[in-house]
Amino acid sequence: MSASHCRSPEQCAPMADSNGGRHAPAEPSRWVIRWADRVPAGGTVLDVACGYGRHARFFARRGYRVQAVDRDEAQIAGLRDVAGVAALCADIERAPWPYPEQQFQGIVVTNYLYRPLMQRLVDAVAPGGVLIYETFSAGHERYGRPRNPDHLLQPGELLEAVRGRLRVIAYEDVFTGETAPACIQRICASREPLPAP
């Protein structure tokens, strides 16, 4: 497990924002790419707050079935004709959770935080499955979006969310300049597989 910290607010700056606050990068996150092989082959991946679907498309190209959910119909519309992707427009913060009792072999969340949903996401990781989560952390607010503390992870918050429930494969709390300078927290954590009969 690796860890480092965004210690100095001067080091933190906003992610590139050329789309009115919404991102539309063509390439998947390096963190998601790095841990994608941990998702069991042939499984179903849930892409939460998928936006334009860069991760849904990435996993579908790799042969996974993908459930992609976002509240922005304009963004998710482009996924409707992507083979292997079931796109759903739903407000997961105000409406009932659209996947009750379902578990997924992979759950991917990037650039999104809604704390009341966190434990539901952890619960939705199937035995042998993984949670790949990456979003903004405290320190980032002084220099760009998001600034609202409701949308910024506190130090160690992802670790606490999975403690005692998932096994941490990797964790970082970092300053990064991968696409633009930002304070980011990210985790890859797995649920132990069911014992063989």
Q: pLDDT of the chain along its 197 residues, tens only?
A: 433 333 333 333 333 333 334 444 479 999 999 999 999 999 999 999 999 999 999 999 999 999 999 999 999 999 999 999 999 999 999 999 999 999 999 999 999 999 999 999 999 999 999 999 999 887 677 667 877 778 888 999 999 999 999 999 999 998 877 667 788 899 999 999 988 77
- Does residue 197 sit within a domain? no
Phi-psi region of 65 (alpha: psi -120 to 50; beta: other; left: phi over 0): beta
- Does residue 196 sit within a domain? no
- Does residue 1 sit within a domain? no
- Does residue 131 sit within a domain? yes
69 CB burial (10 A radius; 0-12, 13-18, 19+) = buried
For tokens 């759903």, name the residue.
88
Q: Which amino acid is at 17?
A: D
pLDDT value of position 148: 78
Query: CATH number, domain at 111?
Result: 3.40.50.150
- Return d(Cα 173, Cα 11) in angstroms, integer: 13
For tokens 């966190």, name the residue.
118
pLDDT value of position 9: 30
Phi-psi region of 21 (alpha: psi -120 to 50; beta: other; left: phi over 0): left
- Return d(Cα 101, Cα 131) in angstroms, integer: 17
- Does residue 58 sit within a domain? yes
- Return d(Cα 111, Cα 91) in angstroms, integer: 16
- Does residue 168 sit within a domain? yes
Structure-block tokens of residue 134: 């990456």
pLDDT value of position 140: 74
Structure-block tokens of residue 54: 């860069």
pTM of the model: 0.85
What is the domain extent for residue 125? 9-16+26-190
- Does residue 163 sit within a domain? yes
- Does residue 2 sit within a domain? no
Domain count, the chain: 1
